[in-house]
Chains A and B, each alone.
Chain A
Amino acid sequence: MSFFKKIFSSEKKETLDKGLEKSKTTFLGKLSKAVAGKSKVDEDVLDNLEEILVSSDVGVNTTLKIIERIEVRVSKDKYLGTSELNEILREEIAGLLSETNSGEATDFSVPSNIKPYVIMVVGVNGVGKTTTIGKLAHQFKNNGKSVILGAADTFRAAAIDQLQIWADRTGVPLVKQNMGSDPASVAFDTLESAVKQNSDIVIIDTAGRLHNKVNLMNELTKVKRVMQKVVPDAPHEVLLVLDGSTGQNAFEQAKQFTAATEVTALAVTKLDGTAKGGVVIGISDQFKIPVKYIGVGEGLEDLQVFNKFEFVDSFFK
């Protein structure tokens, strides 16, 4: 763990641990109960495992996949105890996450050869897009980058005000128009102003939209297209924000937002609650989109770079 101590300040680490503590105790608690007094993995244990995984929103498909893998390993090595099972589970889950490049990023940095680096933030209503942007801006700024925000959520009541407050808190400029104006036009203005000011990073907020609303999804495609008039290869990153307490519908969200905007990264929010965040495993596995950030609170510092080892360790430590 010394590796992580170098990267995360101990304070940060505590926040994640605190956030994941709940999941840790229930998950491990159930698991040790399942294997207590048993010298090998039997049907009961696998049944319990199924319950634990499904109850953590991992999803039936991914759960079956994990269980199948474990069964294969158990058939090879018949006498497995609690500690081996823990180890196998940890490996299998990390394995699913590592099939994408989840957790490769180790800090809040962006490629330095792209300027401005444009991040477009998308997601359904109420997942925490604006809050995530505020926290991201704070981290980038702390890393010595110049950041500019674009308030392209021109639809939801007071969304612009909300982002303005975050901009003031973090001390980064915000480009905005009036509520109800064209979001593509706001994005265009933001990029122009970023080019003029020679900013390092642009973060564009967009209105929450349910992924099954065709017109609203088309609007996102348009915002993306209009940006390219200023910066031809923008956006360099499309960040889909998912609510950690969302169930299997998150899969559909990932699918539809990817279809409309080619999502390149995921942020999972609200992991400081009782929600287990199992959705991360399933989506990362199925869509091969890396999980980049996790939200663990409402404060400026409560955003962390997702790291699969730390994530899995927090479950099994």
Chain B
Amino acid sequence: MFDNLNEKLDKALHILKGHGSITEVNVAETLKEVRRALLDADVNFKIAKEFTNSVKEKALGQNVLTTLQPGQLMVKLVKDELTQLMGGDAEGINLSGNPSVILMSGLQGSGKTTFSGKLANYLKTKKTKKPLLVACDVYRPAAINQLHVVGEQIGVEVYSEVENKNPVQIAQNAIIHAKQNGFNVVIIDTAGRLAVDEAMMKEIANIHKAIQPQETLFVVDAMTGQDAVNTAKAFNDKLNFDGVILTKLDGDTRGGAAISIKSVVNKPIKFIGTGEKMEAIDVFYPSRMADRILGMGDVISLVERAQEQYDEEEARKLQKKIAKNQFGFDDFLTQIQQVKKMGNMKDLIGMIPGAGKALKDIDIEEDSFKHIEAIIHSMTPEERSQPTIINANRKKRIGKGSGTSVQQVNQLLKQFEQMSKMMKMMQGGGGKKMMQMMGKMR
């Protein structure tokens, strides 16, 4: 996916630099790659499929006439859709109760205890609350000790009953203890459990029923694979939880589980865990997560910049010209200037994942368009609007005038011709053709 995308972008850049030629623009191919990227990022199979299908439908009406390739625009569209899907109304944590009770739930090893500590620390330092941590994992060896150690680290009291094996009672007693001792938030850490473990699922449902928490959180490892859907659904069916916590995001997982979970239970992702330190807690940014899942780095910023610089009015005029077969070198010049507005070539290339490193040793000319511009400037207005009249003599003159050679003039003319053809193809029933291409994509 990554290499492939880079390759494609490299090609696109070659065109901009005046080398190489445009290959067939194929949006279907891009969508296929996006779907693959989603699967590689552990987005659920069905959800990835539905998602790309819906993006495809939305994309069909879109105007792809920019300085960038339609495929890249697709990536941007996908990203926007992903962001929207994961976003929704960003809700904080409900602290309305007195004390507010927060119940943690999740599989073994998802990071509930560590996150309970982080949350307590966050509420204590950032929200000036007085939290109480409650150890309700009566099963795993040393789980209670673990919470005590965490509590000590952050200076938060931990409530536990070492001899009591009934987590419902412990939770209830802890709330009484909190009321008597002026704690205004109670964070209840529970044992990890598998969604198929009926006895354990019933247990947490009982805790939930007995203490009626203001906030029930589902803690999930960001590295979770396809099973995230089943687990999230099972926990939500039992607990109707209020929010999701995504842990271990300091790893290099793409974290597609975030999309799967959001799609299945439609609950907000409230916090993320980004390290083992007690301060490593952050609010969730859908846009960053979308970038991460797609693994396309700043390609998206590149497209965004291109869109910013893209003049709708200008584009419409251009479209008409192409339709009437009037696209000339003056228009080409305008296009180049638009690209240049986006920043210098080195910056642009640097924004492409992988490319910056690969091209580190290659000296990129500060102004790669200099020659092209010079050649065009050396043409007469007539030549610019009707490139076909440029014969051998004119070429010689243009070459001299621009300080280039006839070969370079030829190269540009050839590229220009190919580009015009390409544009015409996209224009003349472009929509239909695009749809056909997409139709091939499953």
Residues on A facing B (Cβ under 8 Å)? 22, 47, 51, 54-57, 59-60, 124-128, 134, 155-159, 161-162, 164-166, 169, 179, 210-213, 243, 245-250, 252, 270, 272-276, 279, 298
Enumerate chain A residues within 8 angstroms of B146, measured Cβ to Cβ: 156-159, 161-162
Report the bound CA distance from A165 to B144 in whole Å: 12
| B19 nearest CB across to chain A (Å) | 33
A57 — which chain B residues lie within 8 A by C-beta?
A: 42, 225-227
Contact present for A245 and B107 (CB under 8 Å): yes
A60-B231 Cα distance, complex, nearest whole Å: 22
Contact A273 B39 (CB under 8 A): no
| Cβ of B190 under 8 Å from chain A | no
Per-position contact with A for B32-55: 1 when CB-CB < 8 Å, else 0? 000010011110111000000000
Closest chain B residue, CB of each to CB of A127: B109
List, in ascending order, chain A residues with CB within 8 A of B256's CB: 247
Chain B residues packing against A (C-beta within 8 Å): 36, 39-42, 44-46, 107-111, 113, 139-143, 145-150, 153, 194-196, 221, 223-228, 230-231, 234, 248, 250-254, 256-257, 276, 442
Chain A residues, Cβ within 8 Å of B139: 298
**Given A51-B45, A246-B221, A246-B224, A212 contacting B39 (CB threshold 8 A):** no
Partner of A274, one of B40, B110, B195: B195
With A246-B225, A248-B225 already in contact, the answer to whether A126 and B141 are too (CB < 8 A) is: no
Residues of A within 8 A of B142 (CB): 158-159, 161-162, 164-165
Residues on the A chain within 8 Å of B276, using CB: 125, 155-156
**What residues of B have a CB within 8 angstroms of the CB of A159 in the complex?**
142, 146
| Interchain CB contact under 8 A, B195 and A54 | no
B230 contacts A243, CB within 8 Å?
no
28 interchain pairs (CB within 8 A)?
A54-B226, A55-B46, A57-B226, A60-B36, A126-B221, A134-B141, A157-B145, A158-B146, A158-B149, A161-B142, A162-B145, A165-B141, A179-B149, A210-B250, A247-B224, A247-B226, A248-B40, A248-B42, A248-B225, A248-B254, A270-B107, A272-B196, A273-B107, A273-B196, A274-B231, A274-B234, A279-B225, A298-B108
Contacts of B230 in A (CB 8 A): 274
Interface contact B45-A55, CB-CB below 8 Å: yes
- Minimum CB–CB distance from A245 to chain B (whole Å) comes to 5
Chain A residue with minimal CB distance to B192? Answer: A126
Cα–Cα, bound, A274→B110 (Å): 15
Q: Which residue of A lies closest to B151 (CB)?
A: A157
How far apart are the CA atoms of A124 and B222 in the complex, in Å? 12
Closest to A167 in B: B141
Contact at A275–B141, with CB atoms within 8 Å?
Answer: no
Find out whether the CB atom of A128 lies under 8 angstroms from the CB atom of B251: no
17 further interface pairs, Cβ-Cβ under 8 Å (given A159-B146, A162-B143, A169-B141): A55-B45, A59-B40, A124-B248, A125-B109, A125-B111, A125-B248, A158-B143, A158-B146, A161-B142, A162-B141, A179-B149, A211-B251, A245-B228, A247-B42, A247-B225, A273-B231, A274-B227
Contact check, B109 vs A210: say whether CB atoms are below 8 A apart: no
**Assembled-state Cα–Cα distance A249/B292 (Å):** 13
Other-chain contact of A162, B40, B140, B228, B254 (Cβ < 8 Å): B140
- The minimal Cβ–Cβ distance linking A128 to chain B, given in whole angstroms, is 6
Enumerate the 4 nearest inter-chain pairs by beta-carbon distance, A residue then B residue, closest first. Answer: A247-B225, A126-B109, A247-B42, A157-B149
In the complex formed, the residue of B with least CB distance to A123 is: B109
A276 contacts which chain B residues (CB < 8 A)? 226-227
- Residues of chain B within 8 A of A134, CB atoms compared: 141
- Give bound CA distance, A127 to B221, whole Å: 10
Contact across chains for A124 and B141 when beta carbons are under 8 A apart = no
The residue on B at minimum CB distance from A126 is B109
Nearest B residue to A125 by beta-carbon distance?
B248
> A273–B140 contact, CB under 8 A?
no
A185 to chain B, nearest CB (A): 21
- Residues of A with C-beta under 8 A to B223: 124, 243, 246-247, 249-250
Q: How far is the CA of A247 from the CA of B234 in the complex (A)?
A: 19
A124 partner residues in chain B, CB cutoff 8 A = 223, 248, 251
Contacts of A279 in B (CB 8 A): 225
CA of A155 to CA of B110, assembled, Å: 17
Q: CA separation between A270 and B230, bound complex, in Å?
A: 15
Measured CA separation A54–B194 after assembly (Å): 21
Tell whether, in the assembled complex, residue A157 and residue B111 are in contact, meaning their CB atoms are under 8 Å apart: no
Contacting residues, chain B, for A125 (C-beta < 8 A): 109, 111, 248, 276
Which residues of chain B have C-beta atoms less than 8 A from A166's C-beta? 141
- Asked if residues A245 and B225 are in contact (CB atoms below 8 Å), the reply is yes
* Complex Cα gap A158–B252 (Å): 26
> In whole angstroms, what is the CA distance A52 to B441 when docked?
20
B249 to chain A, nearest CB (A): 10
CB pair B145–A161 under 8 Å, yes or no, is: yes
Quick one: which of A128, A162, A179, A213 contacts B109, CB cutoff 8 A?
A128
Kindly state the separation between the CA atoms of A279 and B251 in the bound complex, as whole angstroms. Answer: 18
Closest Cβ neighbor of B153 among chain A residues: A157
